[in-house]
Chains A and B, each alone.
Chain A
Amino acid sequence: MSEDLKIIEEVTGSDYKYGFVSNIEEELAPPGLNEEIIRFISQKKNEPEWLLEWRLKAFRAWQKMKEPKWANIHYPPIDFQSLHYYAAPKKQQRPKSLDEIDPEIRRTFEKLGIPLEEQKLLAGVAVDAVLDSVSVATTFKEKLAELGIIFCSMSEAIQEHPDLVRKYLGSVVPYNDNFYAALNSAVFSDGSFVYVPPGVRCPMELSTYFRINAAKTGQFERTLIIADEGSYVSYLEGCTAPMRDEHQLHAAVVELIALKDAEIKYSTVQNWYPGDKEGKGGIYNFVTKRGICKGPNAKISWTQVETGSAITWKYPSVILLGDNSVGEFYSIALTNNHQQADTGTKMIHIGKNTRSRIVSKSIAAGKSNNSYRGLVRVLKKAENARNYSQCDSMLIGNRCGAHTFPYIEVENKTATVEHEATVSKIGEDMLFYLNQRGIPTEEAVALIVNGFSEEVLQHLPMEFAVEARKLLAISLEGSVG
């Protein structure tokens, strides 16, 4: 192995920088999963009867389901009975203002660089922060309320806006959709809720930070975003977790509903703890994300930067029901050391003249394994549907793997479906060229990877693009191999 490659390997072996544990008193449900626990969660949250019933239906469906095995990922069986399904910071009263938040929680979020402080909020980002299972603070609420925009925790939405929740919850991802979605439906504890009324353009980015803190807990957020006719909203989620030796399960569900002429832009920067260099610990990130373009001319755009988690299993999808609706998926998935990612998208074309665009950039370093899995499906009535997919993989070193599994099912002859794929390696020629210009190998790798990811990064809101660039560089420190 060449010297450069060795250096890159050392560089990508660097440490996770968000791995601290916060010393916050937690209220924990006993471990294990049964109807009792589900009733406990539902009662804790003072939920209406219909929701408890829905959870129980999901639980019963889940019991009959098997863990999916088709993804290109490998891990020992998860003991679902050893996990805690509810963990919450102990303070019972929800804080009324930012000053009332437990200082330790605030310090946690400060360490994460989340702008909870009012002054920082002037930057124009409204934040909902979810620690373990409970939403801790939602900022900018009043300002949004003036426009009729609802941005709150899911628990609060269930209390304050039950009709909206009841109408849309499970309407895109049914309670029995898949193993992890069913589990989430049974035990979800919190998450974010957004409703944008007709014709309103949400004036700021809405943002949620998720953090798993408690040990041996699963985190099951549920996020629901509804963009009513002619509205627009851009939403961003970020995630981190402490370093722990054992694996932790994260099984979220996100549902997006874009009505006629509405647009939802959903961006994720996922940086859950990936485990150590030997593959010990790290988050299992098994997530179901799906949006529906319900009315004509609706648009849903997913952008994701996935650098964390021991295992990522995630396929943000769009159902293109309305005529002329548009679905987009822009993804960067970076794996290093022993990380595994099987991620991609599904674009389901139902309406006429529907268009979808997929740009996937996979970067694999260390001994990691990175797969793109995508489905483009054009149904019979989807006249003139168009899809363009581009899947590029970059390998750093010789011990990682990148795979592409594109599935295309077309039932309408007028459809146009294009797929392009490339695989490249960070070559010594490239590194030497940059070194000769004074750029050390570590920075050179960051530059190359950022360049490779540029097409996706440009779809992130500005501040987050800057963050994402840094994150890509940090995640690769020590990796040329």
Chain B
Amino acid sequence: MHNAKQPLLVIENLHVAVDDKQILKGVDLTIYPGEIHAIMGPNGSGKSTLAAVLAGREDYTILQGRVFFDGKDLLEMSPEERAAAGLFLAFQYPVEIPGVSMLTFLRTALNEIRKSNGEEPIDTRTFLQRVREAAQLLGLGNDFLQRAVNVGFSGGEKKRNEILQMAVLRPKLAILDETDSGLDIDALKIVANAVNSLFGTIQSYLIITHYQRLLNYIEPDYVHVMYDGKIVRSGDKTLALELEAKGYDWLRSETLSSIELPSTTT
């Protein structure tokens, strides 16, 4: 079915090292518009590294491989160019920016992206409307928008704030790095609902998670299991349930029994 379309993201044989330590050891992944992919895997398997490399974080050495985003060579682009091209990363650990209000931050980000794409700055009314709608969707009040970015936010607020930004910036591909961890069940439902309702405006998701529970609310088309820097298994959503039932040790005993696995906490 998707052969008619161009893939949104193509990762080919990606090898990545940090400080001479190899972390990604040959990752292949293709995401088409309209697809939701999930990557699961134990702590330390390289999920955040993959997300960071896709977003353009420096400090990582690309040893081998290629990545295309919307037909363009992603690895040649700066982080802000990637953002302008429509790639968004919801951070596992969002960063505090003291003294910069959410509104200023969102407006600056949105207008920089628009500028890169040859568009005029957004007018104030449309902007405020969009931001308020997004805040409402995430169950955050308007006063939240006056606060400094992530300063004094609870863990849950920080995670919801990432999705709020996604709702305002409307990327093509959103990578959610453990957005579910640290959320109570109500917040998890709010986030999942927001992600689902934005699907369409946002063409594709790559959802990184340690646990299966988020996938009860967001239904992935594909589930991949990352282990020791490689995708060792791919399947449909039933793979997530299988993992949940058997635990990551099952993977180890089945396919990777010779390698020491980091402990998993479930």
* Chain B stretch 9-49: residues in CB contact (< 8 A) with chain A: none
Pair B99/A455 contact, Cβ less than 8 Å: yes
| B23, chain A: closest CB distance, angstroms | 17
* Chain A stretch 213-228: residues in CB contact (< 8 A) with chain B: none
> Which stretch (B90-98, B137-145, B215-223) binds chain A?
B90-98
Give the complex CA separation of A434 and B55 in angstroms: 12
**In the complex, chain A residues whose CB is within 8 Å of the CB of B148:** 451
Interface string of A150-163 (1 = CB under 8 A from B): 00000000000000
With both beta carbons as reference points, the residue of chain A lying nearest to B115 in the complex is identified as A438
User: Which among A430, A435, A452 has the greatest number of chain B C-beta atoms within 10 A?
Assistant: A435
| B164, chain A: closest CB distance, angstroms | 12
With both beta carbons as reference points, the residue of chain B lying nearest to A453 in the complex is identified as B99
**In the complex, chain B residues whose CB is within 8 Å of the CB of A438:** 80, 83-84, 109-110, 112-113, 116, 169
With both beta carbons as reference points, the residue of chain A lying nearest to B114 in the complex is identified as A438
Pair B169/A433 contact, Cβ less than 8 Å: no
A447 partner, pick from B59, B78, B82, B105, beta carbons under 8 A: B105
B100 partner, pick from A428, A429, A451, A455, beta carbons under 8 A: A451
**In the complex, chain B residues whose CB is within 8 Å of the CB of A437:** 83, 105, 109, 112, 165, 169
Pair B108/A435 contact, Cβ less than 8 Å: no
Pair A3/B104 contact, Cβ less than 8 Å: no
Give the complex CA separation of A309 and B104 in angstroms: 30
A429 touching B165 in the complex, CB below 8 Å, given contacts A438-B109, A447-B105, A451-B100: no
Give the complex CA separation of A439 and B110 in angstroms: 9
* Chain A stretch 423-450: residues in CB contact (< 8 A) with chain B: 428-430, 432-441, 443, 447-448, 450
Give the complex CA separation of A2 and B57 in angstroms: 11
Give the complex CA separation of A417 and B41 in angstroms: 54
Is the C-beta of A237 less than 8 angstroms from some C-beta in chain B? Answer: no
Is the C-beta of B240 less than 8 angstroms from some C-beta in chain A? Answer: no
Is the C-beta of B229 less than 8 angstroms from some C-beta in chain A? Answer: no
With both beta carbons as reference points, the residue of chain A lying nearest to B98 in the complex is identified as A451
Pair A447/B104 contact, Cβ less than 8 Å: yes
Give the complex CA separation of A447 and B91 in angstroms: 20
With both beta carbons as reference points, the residue of chain B lying nearest to A449 in the complex is identified as B99
| B117, chain A: closest CB distance, angstroms | 10
| B6, chain A: closest CB distance, angstroms | 23
Task: Count chain B residues whose beta carbon lies closer than 8 angstroms to a beta carbon of A.
Answer: 31
Is the C-beta of A100 less than 8 angstroms from some C-beta in chain B? Answer: no
Is the C-beta of A25 less than 8 angstroms from some C-beta in chain B? Answer: no
Pair A436/B97 contact, Cβ less than 8 Å: no
Task: Count chain A residues whose beta carbon lies closer than 8 angstroms to a beta carbon of B.
Answer: 25
| A476, chain B: closest CB distance, angstroms | 15
Give the complex CA separation of A145 and B94 in angstroms: 56
With both beta carbons as reference points, the residue of chain B lying nearest to A457 in the complex is identified as B99
Is the C-beta of A454 less than 8 angstroms from some C-beta in chain B? Answer: yes
**In the complex, chain A residues whose CB is within 8 Å of the CB of B58:** 2-4, 428, 432
A439 partner, pick from B56, B59, B80, beta carbons under 8 A: B80
**In the complex, chain B residues whose CB is within 8 Å of the CB of A435:** 56, 78-80, 83
B99 partner, pick from A436, A439, A440, A451, beta carbons under 8 A: A451
Give the complex CA separation of A438 and B56 in angstroms: 12
With both beta carbons as reference points, the residue of chain A lying nearest to B87 in the complex is identified as A436
B59 partner, pick from A2, A430, A450, beta carbons under 8 A: A2
With both beta carbons as reference points, the residue of chain B lying nearest to A5 in the complex is identified as B58
**In the complex, chain A residues whose CB is within 8 Å of the CB of B80:** 435-436, 438-441
Pair B95/A429 contact, Cβ less than 8 Å: yes
Pair A434/B99 contact, Cβ less than 8 Å: no
Pair B109/A433 contact, Cβ less than 8 Å: no
Is the C-beta of B89 less than 8 angstroms from some C-beta in chain A? Answer: yes
A447 touching B79 in the complex, CB below 8 Å, given contacts A438-B109, A438-B113, A439-B109: no
**In the complex, chain A residues whose CB is within 8 Å of the CB of B104:** 447
Interface string of B73-87 (1 = CB under 8 A from A): 000001110111000
| A409, chain B: closest CB distance, angstroms | 31
**In the complex, chain B residues whose CB is within 8 Å of the CB of A432:** 55, 57-58, 79, 95
Pair A452/B94 contact, Cβ less than 8 Å: no
Interface string of A222-261 (1 = CB under 8 A from B): 0000000000000000000000000000000000000000
Pair A433/B98 contact, Cβ less than 8 Å: no
Pair B55/A450 contact, Cβ less than 8 Å: no
| A233, chain B: closest CB distance, angstroms | 29
* Chain B stretch 162-215: residues in CB contact (< 8 A) with chain A: 165, 169
Interface string of A178-210 (1 = CB under 8 A from B): 000000000000000000000000000000000
Given contact pairs A2-B58, A438-B84, A447-B100, enumerate 10 new A-B contacts (beta carbons under 8 Å). Answer: A4-B58, A430-B97, A436-B79, A436-B82, A437-B83, A437-B105, A437-B112, A438-B83, A440-B78, A452-B99
Interchain residue pairs with CB less than 8 A apart (16): A428-B59, A432-B55, A432-B57, A433-B91, A434-B109, A435-B78, A435-B79, A436-B80, A436-B89, A437-B169, A438-B80, A438-B110, A440-B80, A447-B108, A450-B99, A453-B99
7 nearest A-B residue pairs (beta carbon): A451-B99, A451-B100, A438-B83, A435-B79, A454-B99, A438-B113, A437-B109
